[in-house]
Structure 1
Amino acid sequence: MLLGRRRTARVCTYGGVLMLVFVLFIMLQALVTRDDVLNDFASVGSSRVFSSDTGLSIFDYPADDQRLVNYVRDVLIKQYHRSSTEPPYNLTLDRLNSDYSRGQSKIIDEHLNKKNVGFFVDVGAGDGESNSVTLFFERERTYNGLLIEPYPGRYKTLLTKHRKAHTLQACLRTNRTGNVKEYMAVKERVSTVVPCLWLETILAATGQKVIDILSINVRDEEEDIVRIIPFHKLDIRVVSIEFSHDTNSYIEIVKYMAKIDYVAIHQIVYHPLHKVDFVFAKKTKVKK
């Protein structure tokens, strides 16, 4: 009886050791796979973009480095070109002259004197339709633009909307973030590593010096992002920012925008949605 118990104990011990080894092996494989994914972002074509002497990836280059700008323009941005064979919009609410935003689009349209043909940059574009500030201008005012969205699920949905604009799956880099960030697609239970780029780099890649509308819809990073925008290098005419209602960062942003000669021309608070929307415009271009 005693011998049988000892044998059983040994079997249990060996089984526990084997299970521990198996778990460690799986964890090691996961880390290796993740490193491989990260390294994939440092590749252009068949050549690595790591500097052999410094070990830096291309995403570590300065924001205005032309090699980085070229890579973002030629590799990362999904370019849109108008054609007669392009698919029609695939929108949930497909009505002409519709304001898909919470009122910001109409305010901006009036401020810009219903200007036709312009350029927008939409940071945090979401699914490309819900509460979109830029969709109205794309459809009704023939604007071109760039839609930026880091979350895998939202970006995938965005592409199905057939927006007539360039798209970029990336997060914005700030002084508090690194050059890549991992996002989890909840439904698919798959993680995606996304590059984090300076907005200065992205804007340089568009080749646009005049940005009619800059729409920012990010979560709790509004102040960090606004403070690194190169306003002195570009003519950004209108800036629309959505804030979470439970943050006071908009107070600091209003002060900061005033210092760089932007004034708030629209503010609205949505208590049920816990949102605060601001629209800023250059003082020299504010309608009297």
Structure 2
Amino acid sequence: MNPHMYIQQDKSQTDYSKEMDQLNREQVSMDDPRLIQLIRNHWIENPSDAEYNLQFPDLLDPSAGQAPFVDNRMSFKERGFYVECGALDGETRSNTLMLERLRKWNGLLIEADPSNYKNLKEKHRKAFSINACLSIYPFPVIMEFKQRFSQGKLIENERDRGGKKGTIIEVQCFPLYSILLAINVTRIDFFSLDVEGDELKVLQTLPFDQVDIEMMTVEYKHIDLGEDYLKNYVENKGYDSLVKIGHYRQWANDIIFKKRKHFGS
């Protein structure tokens, strides 16, 4: 693990939840220093330096094909940086575990479901991690979340509340940009985004002029505005859509994007 991939934290503040409640009420901006400091000190967890504790250690690539495709298009890059949300248990269908193990990448794992996150921590991934959801607004917010392992999602309306069964809990949501500032990273080689329908809303909070993302895989299946709208939005941000990744058991319905060279120059 590269030494610079750890962050120094000050956990002396014991009543930080009250300050967080206040920032939620104020709907502070994504780059508010108070918000960044709270995320850094009290939500981010540093990478593990323990041995991996994987359920299937001999399975190098648990993804549905996203990881080897990105690996190839990135020319088998060593020591890159990834972001994966939702990260589930850190192993099941992970789009980043292969890059971490084979190419020694560092990264950030984001998982909203506390049950999944507990299992994720037991895998000893070599990445920052955070038990929070990605905000669909350009400010932090508490939202309701339905727990369903790989199908957990934010509750935005009565349709979300109904349907498939699942325990409903409240979760803290942060803009992705805020989390990135908290770990001092704005250059990302690979971003894996699967949040059961809110992918477009998450991307719409992201200041693409402030964050440099080389490649992305984005699930499109549950986006209300549809696959074509997602493609047009991301392509207008300077990306080419390269391939659709599918799986016969519906484990993947992704589009992989790559940043066009010299976009905007």
After TM superposition, the score normalised by the length of structure 2 is 0.79
Contact 2:192–2:216 (CA under 8 A) maintained in structure 1:
yes
Root-mean-square deviation (Å) = 2.9
Structure 1 regions of 5+ residues with no counterpart?
1-42
Offset from partner CA, 1:180-236 (integer Å, 9 cap, x none): 12446689x986532111111011112012111111011111111111112110111
1:92 partnered with 2:92 = no
Structure 2 regions of 5+ residues with no counterpart?
1-11, 150-165
Q: Name the CA distance, whole Å, in 1 between partners of 2:247 and 2:16.
A: 50
Q: 1:46 aligns with which of 15, 23, 47?
A: 15
1:180 partnered with 2:142 = yes
Amino acid at match of 1:72: I
Name which one, 1 or 2, has greater alpha-carbon Rg.
1
1:70 partnered with 2:37 = yes
Distance 1:153 1:255, change over 3 A: same
Alignment of 1:1-288 (within 5 A): 44-46=13-15, 49-50=18-19, 57-59=22-24, 60-80=27-47, 82=49, 86=50, 88-95=51-58, 98-175=60-137, 179-183=141-145, 192-244=169-221, 249-273=226-250, 275-284=252-261
Q: Name the CA distance, whole Å, in 1 between partners of 2:148 and 2:246.
A: 30
Deviation of 1:46 after TM superposition, in Å, equals 3.5
Q: Name the CA distance, whole Å, in 1 between partners of 2:218 and 2:111.
A: 15
Q: Name the CA distance, whole Å, in 2 between partners of 1:250 and 1:170.
A: 26
Distance 1:208 1:175, change over 3 A: closer
Q: Name the CA distance, whole Å, in 2 between partners of 1:247 and 1:174.
A: 14
Q: How many residues align?
A: 234
Q: Which is further off, 72-81 or 105-114?
A: 72-81
In proportion to residue count, which structure has more helix? 1
Distance 1:215 1:49, change over 3 A: same
Offset from partner CA, 1:9-60 (integer Å, 9 cap, x none): xxxxxxxxxxxxxxxxxxxxxxxxxxxxxxxxxx941366449xxxx71233
Offset from partner CA, 1:51-89 (integer Å, 9 cap, x none): 9xxxx712332111011011101111111254xxx2x21
Amino acid at match of 2:124: H
* Percentage of matched positions with identical amino acids: 31
Amino acid at match of 1:165: A
Aligned counterpart, 2:158: none
Contact 1:148–1:169 (CA under 8 A) maintained in structure 2:
yes
Distance 1:218 1:246, change over 3 A: closer
Contact 1:223–1:249 (CA under 8 A) maintained in structure 2:
no
Higher RCO by CA contacts (8 Å cutoff, separation 6 or greater): 2
